[in-house]
Amino acid sequence: MRTVDLHDADAIYDIFLAQLRAQGYATVDLPNGSVKIVPDQAARLEPVPVETGGQQGEGSDSVATRVFNVRNAASEQVLGILKPLIDPRVGVITPYPAAHQLVVTDWRSNLERIASLLRQLDRPQDAPGSGSTQVIYLRHANAGEVVKVLRGLSQEGMAPSEGAGEGEGKDRPAVPAAGGSGIRLEYEEGTNAVVMVGPDSELAAYRAIVEQLDIRRAQVVVEAIIAEVSDSSAQELGVQWLFADEKFGAGIVNFGSNGVNIASIAGAAASGDNEALGDLLSSTTGAMAGIGHFGGGFNFAMLVNALKGKSGFNLLSTPTLLTLDNAEASILVGQEVPFVTGSVTQNNANPYQTIERKEVGVKLRIKPQINIDNSVRLDIVQEVSSIADTTAASDVITNKREIKTKVMVEDNGLVILGGLISDELSTSDQRVPLLGDIPYLGRLFRSDATKNAKQNLMVFTRPRIVRDGPSLAGLSEDKYRTLQQTTPLQLPDLA
């Protein structure tokens, strides 16, 4: 070792000790004032000097033993933290629980490091139940939901990690674990307030989180148009005959699906009952024409029925829903229909049935989520149900069309859902045997019906983000003016 600078004796001695340590040797101060050089692994077996209180030897690269007093923390818990810091070649750490002390043998430089760390760990703790009470009156958030979040965070403790990225715990205060803090969290529903009881040092972290949660949430107005577009056409052409003779009896050819037969009409016409004849004719659909002769020996009648129909657009509902961000909203326009779910019959007792009521009609359920780029994620459930034509309550059949989806749409954008639901084609043919098969002339002895039906369920949805009161007021006024223009009633103007 060579140096060109002039140093004092202490500096030269420290350089000498550092070189010995680099070569695997350590120095031990003996009681007579001399210094013993030994291999570092054997230093712990030598009578190294014991330092207590403010006593401290010279040389950061020499080995010594120091006694540390642990006044507040448990010595066993501190031992688990400090033990990995000890140099395994020369150091050893031993707890003395009776006196709340730790005995550590190591390099003097490492002893200083342990002393600094122990001053941070061995701090007085607040007594259980001590501390202050803070009541935070929330302006926007729900107190019950905020307390639920705080309790969830405090169960395991939350602190920002060293590798946390931008926005992930960087400016978030650490929340102490509930098991060691003794903090209590409650809420008062009437005043929408959060009540916190605990040490002041820990309440500050909870209060900072409450302030970040207590913000005004944006709202979403969802306008929807629910329409059923049906493209159905039906054609029917049929001929009915009636023959009657006093000697040879009567014969009838009856076709058609409109429920009116030639025998009823001929009977009312022959008897002169104009009222009954009018009721029968009023119940028919399509075009109907007939000729006949009643009276005398031979009677006959012919009835021709022709029908052609077509249907189109059916507007089911135009609801408007207003809800908070990430909150579900729904609307139902329909009825609660009873459905028989069971029946019981007992001996010597009246039978009874169990009935369950279910909602039938137009249902719309949405849940919007506003993203940072002003786009809106919509969870949509659209259902249109109706009761099919049945006669018995126990055999009630419901027609149901449902759309369930999740979409992403821009603010004030339009989403179209739905499409072709069903496409049905049915034909029927009724004829008199042999006569109905005659070319051209057979049309007089048969009835043909054709029906083609297509159904489309379309849902048009437009979300609008509302972030403040004036925007909501303007939207409400527009809806009110539209109602004033369309309703026959005289509605007052808004002030």
Please write the tens of the pLDDT for every residue from 118-136: 888 877 665 555 568 889 9
308 — pLDDT class (breaks 50, 70, 90): low
pLDDT tens digits, 133-166:
889 999 999 999 999 999 888 765 444 333 333 4
pLDDT at 478: 82
* List of E strands, 138-269: 184-188, 193-198, 219-245, 249-253
Q: Which one of 41-45, 68-72, 170-174, 175-179 scores highest in mean pLDDT?
A: 68-72
Is residue 250 over pLDDT 60?
Answer: no
- Name all domains of the chain by residue range, CATH numbers in brackets: 9-121 (3.30.1370.120), 132-158+172-215 (3.30.1370.120), 235-310 (no CATH)
pLDDT at 417: 86
pLDDT tens digits, 370-400:
999 989 999 999 888 888 766 555 567 888 8
Q: Which one of 12-21, 103-112, 215-224 scores highest in mean pLDDT?
A: 215-224
Cα gap 316→303, rounded to integer Å: 39
Three-class SS state of 182 = coil
pTM: 0.50
Instruction: Report the percent of the chain where pLDDT is more than 90.
Output: 15
- Return the closest-CA partner of residue 306 out of 258, 269, 262: 258
Q: Which one of 137-151, 171-185, 293-307, 413-427 scores highest in mean pLDDT?
A: 137-151
Q: How close are the terminal C-alpha atoms of the chain, in Å?
A: 96
Residue 14 phi, psi (nearest 5): -65, -40
Instruction: Report the percent of the chain where pLDDT is more than 70.
Output: 58
List all residues 6 or more positions away from 481 whose beta carbon is below 8 Å from its beta carbon. Answer: none
> Tokens at residue 48, please?
């190294």
Average pLDDT on 259-288 reads 59
List all residues 6 or more positions away from 400 whose beta carbon is below 8 Å from its beta carbon. Answer: 383, 384, 385
Token pair 């707890």 is at which residue? 95
Is residue 176 over pLDDT 80?
Answer: no
> Tokens at residue 23, please?
């070569």
pLDDT at 164: 37
Cα gap 398→395, rounded to integer Å: 10
Average pLDDT on 470-486 reads 81
Give the range among 15-19, 77-81, 190-194 with minimum mean pLDDT: 15-19
Is residue 275 over pLDDT 80?
Answer: no
Is residue 349 over pLDDT 80?
Answer: no
